[in-house]
Amino acid sequence: MAPPVTDASALTDLTRDYTREIREATSFPQALELGLGKGRLAPGETLSARSVAEVCITLAAASRFGGHVRLGPAQGPDEVGLRLDALVGITDVDPTSGLVRAEAGVTVSSLEARLADAGLTLGAALLATPEARIGAAIAAGAWPGAAMRLEAVLPDGTPLCTPLAPRRATGPDPDALLHGLNDRLAVLVAAVLRLDPRAQQSRVEHVKGPPSALLEAMRVLLRDHRLDVELSATSDGQELTVEVSGDDARFDTGLALLASLRAVGAVSVTGGLPAPPLGRTEVAGWRRLQSRVAAGGPVWLHRIGRHGAWLRPGPQGAIDDPWLAQARAALDPGAVLRHDDAPLRRRKGRAT
């Protein structure tokens, strides 16, 4: 089997000591200068990191000298701002395994363009937000299960990679402490994403109709049968628009689904679905989907399957979980990392 196409020079070197450049420093400004180069970054300024190494060095310098790093523009003289938009490396395309490693600043659309030559695609659910950046989307809780590995930098500047395996049984899943946590425990810098084969010729159909009836028709069909098509939908509170897409040569199951939907009042429409909001995505069962659609307001559904779908917008609010706060205190005792977003709240408290 062909090995993955790799630009090794751009990969995170987990064995490297990113603090070696700042070993001789005696202050935060000096550490930034020694690590990143003269004039590149000073307290009160914002760095657009060009490599994962720069993220590691910035955090290590702050951690060692009591500085702070804000993910976003700097807001005070005791901190530096850190932006990841310039981390745009696509360093590992593995067509054999259907995987790609992309850095945090890569957009969905640019990654999809790069994958075309390899005959691969990110799939409709990710392509629904073409301008989304990989790191921000995963940190915000979008795309559950879409990444097979996450790469992040701990608040003291240490880089980490979660294991690269299709499935594993090596303890709790560390990805769960990175996905959707808005970089609370570590700064997400890259991800290895799962890909689908790109269809030779794809077909897309849209129908629109009463939300509850269409959802029920999809549930009933999916309960017993497998479909070779991908299903997405959006509701504006009044009507549900369903998108059926897939390989033209294997669209027969899609046609069966469309027939079921038309039988309960769906009519064909043209045009695509509007882009969903980027953010937390809930993996929801059918009861939850029905109740959310019935409640009105816009909702987006992707990867509709036998047991439900991705539901967006997902739970709002954010991370003010007491356990998470304790874990954060242990991993970041100097409170190096600062965030702009509002604290999150846990929806369900403990029962006793």
Partner 1 sequence: MAVVESSEDGLVVALRGLLGADAVSNEEAERRAYASDMWPRHQIWKMGPTPVRHRPLCVARPTTEGQIQAVVRACRAANAPLIPYGAGSGVCGGTMPIRPRSVVLDVRRLDRLVSLDDLDLTVTAEAGIHGMLFEEELLARGYTLGHYPSSILCSTLGGWLAARSAGQQSSKYGKIEDMVVSLRAVLPDGDVVETGSGQPVDWTQILVGSEGTLGVVTRATLRVHVRPEAQVFRGFRFRTVDEGLHALRRIMQAGLSPHVARLYDPFDTMLHSSSKSGSPAEEAGRTATGPMSALRDLFSAPVAEVKRRAPKAAIALALSVPGVLARLVEALPATCLLILGFDGTRSDAERDLEAATKLALAGGGIDGGSGPGERWLAHRHAVSFKQSALFDAGAFVDTMEVSAPWSRVLEVYRGVRAAVSPHAFVMAHMSHAYREGCSLYFTFAGYKGDAAGLERLYDRVWAEGLTAVIRCGGSISHHHGVGLSKRDAMRREHGAGLRLLYSMKDVLDPSGLMNPGKVLPDRAVEG
Indicate whether 291 belongs to the interface with partner 1 (CB under 8 A): no
Q: Can you tell me which of 8, 38, 271, 348 binds partner 1, judged by CB under 8 A?
A: 348
Q: Can you tell me which of 9, 170, 238, 270 binds partner 1, judged by CB under 8 A?
A: 170
Mapping DSSP to helix (H, G, I), strand (E, B) and coil, where does residue 190 land? strand
What distance in Å separates the CA atoms of residue 180 and residue 190, rounded to the nearest whole number? 14
Q: How far is the CB of 345 from partner 1 (least distance, A)?
A: 8
Q: Can you tell me which of 66, 285, 297, 333 binds partner 1, judged by CB under 8 A?
A: 285
Indicate whether 183 belongs to the interface with partner 1 (CB under 8 A): no
What distance in Å separates the CA atoms of residue 81 and residue 46, rounded to the nearest whole number? 4
Which pair of structure tokens corresponds to residue 300? 């987006």
Indicate whether 137 belongs to the interface with partner 1 (CB under 8 A): no
Q: How far is the CB of 119 from partner 1 (least distance, A)?
A: 10
What distance in Å separates the CA atoms of residue 232 and residue 194, rounded to the nearest whole number? 18
Q: How far is the CB of 123 from partner 1 (least distance, A)?
A: 11
What distance in Å separates the CA atoms of residue 53 and residue 46, rounded to the nearest whole number? 16
Q: Can you tell me which of 64, 133, 280, 302 binds partner 1, judged by CB under 8 A?
A: 280
Radius of gyration, CA atoms only, the chain: 22
What distance in Å separates the CA atoms of residue 342 and residue 112, rounded to the nearest whole number? 32
Q: Which is nearer to partner 1, 74 or 222 (CB)?
A: 222
Indicate whether 8 belongs to the interface with partner 1 (CB under 8 A): no
Q: Can you tell me which of 76, 77, 197, 297 binds partner 1, judged by CB under 8 A?
A: 197
Which pair of structure tokens corresponds to residue 90? 């696509």
Indicate whether 53 belongs to the interface with partner 1 (CB under 8 A): no
Q: Judge whether 44 and 149 are in contact, CB under 8 Å.
A: no
Query: What number of chain residues touch partner 1 (CB under 8 A)?
Result: 78
Indicate whether 284 belongs to the interface with partner 1 (CB under 8 A): yes
Indicate whether 315 belongs to the interface with partner 1 (CB under 8 A): yes
The closest of 105, 107, 101 to 50, measured between CA atoms, is: 105
Q: How far is the CB of 311 from partner 1 (least distance, A)?
A: 9
Which pair of structure tokens corresponds to residue 62? 């702050």
Interacting span for partner 1 (CB under 8 A) from 17-25, 203-211, 231-239, 341-349? 341-349
Indicate whether 198 belongs to the interface with partner 1 (CB under 8 A): no
In degrees rounded to 5, what are phi and psi of residue 28? -60, -50
Indicate whether 337 belongs to the interface with partner 1 (CB under 8 A): no
Which 8-state DSSP code applies to residue 318? -
Cα distances from 317 to residues 52, 180, 352, in angstroms, run 29, 12, 24
116 contact partners, CB below 8 Å, separation of at least 6 = 198
Indicate whether 162 belongs to the interface with partner 1 (CB under 8 A): yes
Q: Which is nearer to partner 1, 44 or 315 (CB)?
A: 315
Indicate whether 189 belongs to the interface with partner 1 (CB under 8 A): no
Indicate whether 340 belongs to the interface with partner 1 (CB under 8 A): no
What distance in Å separates the CA atoms of residue 259 and residue 263, rounded to the nearest whole number? 6
In degrees rounded to 5, what are phi and psi of residue 225? -120, 150
Interacting span for partner 1 (CB under 8 A) from 26-34, 39-47, 62-70, 93-101? 93-101
Indicate whether 20 belongs to the interface with partner 1 (CB under 8 A): no
Indicate whether 174 belongs to the interface with partner 1 (CB under 8 A): yes
